[in-house]
Amino acid sequence: MAPANRTDEERSLGRLLRGTAGLAALAGLAWVARDVPAALGGRLSGARAERAARSPQFRDGTFHNRAGTRTMVADPGRNLLRELIFGKQKRRPTAPVPLLRPSAPQATDEFAIIWYGHATALIEIEGRRVLLDPMWSDRCSPSGLVGPRRLHEPPVRLDELPPLDAILISHDHYDHLDMATVQALTAGQSAPFLVPLGVGAHLDRWGVPAERIIELDWAESHRVAGLEITATPAQHFSGRGLRRDGTLWSSWVVAGSRRRVFYTGDSGYFDGYAAIGAEHGPFDATLIQIGAYDRAWPTIHMFPEEAVDAHQDLRGGLLIPVHWATFNLALHDWSEPVNRLWAEAKARDVQLAVPRPGERVVVADPPAVDGWWQAIA
């Protein structure tokens, strides 16, 4: 009888352990996913949906580019998953990325740009400060535990930012629109958020006051602190969950009385840059996306050589590359985008600055390109 009893006890214990493990696994998954529903953001409804429906960019329930695009192009014989896992590309730096703490402005009217990493930058123009696509979280993901992780820390804390006059968002992908960063800026700053149509639904859900949300369609402008800020076309897409293109994407023109800056957001190369340059240029500086490209998605992200094309179409002065170095989002080498850009800029006599994250670039006196990234590539 004793052996049989022990067997029953062992079976009961096994069932208990399996049940406990199952509950622990479910609890773990719930903990990992606890912030995901909120991070997915909101959806268009009411007056916001009605306004979106009136946009020339909106039809059949979604926003569209002006030209036909595809987010993924068939590439026969290529296995992207295998390349992601077994590819020989050097997609991470070999040593820490050098960070700089931005120096304080020497004069209130000094025209300068600070790149904090990825697409996040601060424009100091005519005594005003405009923050682009702020992203301070460790991962660009709806979860804090999974998803692409930063390759370097932010060079400053969010609470170390100076008072801002405007915060611009180019589109709602996680590496450009981050819930935790938005909530921190809502609490710590008073600046309005200027966003493309529909993106305000996300900000609503995250507690941004309605009076601080300004939604613009392409070609619409808003004056902030003496600056004229205009949403201009881009060639990209949007989406934070299973639904695609429920919000608009844009590039941005920031114009003072004497200085002008253009920011591409994420975009493929298209003829819209020449039109923007003709209408809003010339620009003293352009901030242009150069990373996360691939021949599998050629119409929604620019190759580095196309970034130079766009800069010249825009009638730009100083070119500052963004959207590289901070997150591993494509299959190319970590340093390839800036190496290709530098070579193309030299070949076409384009003025280029490649700051370290946190480095303050005075547009009238930019630092010489020194290849700092090559030592850690």
d(CA 325, CA 322): 9
pLDDT band at 70 (very low <50, low <70, confident <90, very high): confident
Asked if the model's pLDDT at residue 114 lies above 60, the reply is yes
pTM of the predicted model as reported, rounded to 2 decimal places: 0.90
d(CA 73, CA 57): 23
Q: What share of the chain is helix, strand, coil (3-state, %, to 5)?
A: 30, 20, 50
- The pLDDT of 124-137, averaged and rounded, is 97
- The pLDDT of 97-121, averaged and rounded, is 89
Instruction: Please give the residue that has the higher pLDDT: either 14 or 359.
Output: 359
User: For residue 316, what pLDDT is reported?
Assistant: 98
- The pLDDT of 4-12, averaged and rounded, is 53
User: For residue 290, what pLDDT is reported?
Assistant: 98
User: For residue 103, what pLDDT is reported?
Assistant: 74
pLDDT band at 107 (very low <50, low <70, confident <90, very high): low
pLDDT band at 155 (very low <50, low <70, confident <90, very high): very high
pLDDT band at 248 (very low <50, low <70, confident <90, very high): very high
For residue 145, the tally of other CB atoms under 10 A from its CB is 14
Mean pLDDT of the chain: 91
Instruction: Please give the residue that has the higher pLDDT: either 28 or 83.
Output: 83
Asked if the model's pLDDT at residue 240 lies above 70, the reply is yes
User: For residue 13, what pLDDT is reported?
Assistant: 46
pLDDT band at 24 (very low <50, low <70, confident <90, very high): very low
With H, G, I as helix, E, B as strand and everything else as coil, classify residue 40: coil
- The pLDDT of 169-181, averaged and rounded, is 98
Q: Give 116's contacts (C-beta < 8 A, 6+ positions apart).
A: 122, 154, 155, 156, 357, 358
- The pLDDT of 288-317, averaged and rounded, is 97
- The pLDDT of 42-57, averaged and rounded, is 96
pLDDT band at 33 (very low <50, low <70, confident <90, very high): low
Q: How far apart are the first and last CA of the chain?
A: 70
Asked if the model's pLDDT at residue 4 lies above 80, the reply is no
Instruction: Please give the residue that has the higher pLDDT: either 269 or 104.
Output: 269
d(CA 98, CA 282): 32
Structure tokens at 313: 């179409």
Q: Using DSSP bridges, classify how beta strands 193-196 and 62-63 pair: parallel, antiparallel or unpaired.
A: unpaired
User: For residue 7, what pLDDT is reported?
Assistant: 59
Asked if the model's pLDDT at residue 196 lies above 90, the reply is yes
pLDDT band at 106 (very low <50, low <70, confident <90, very high): low
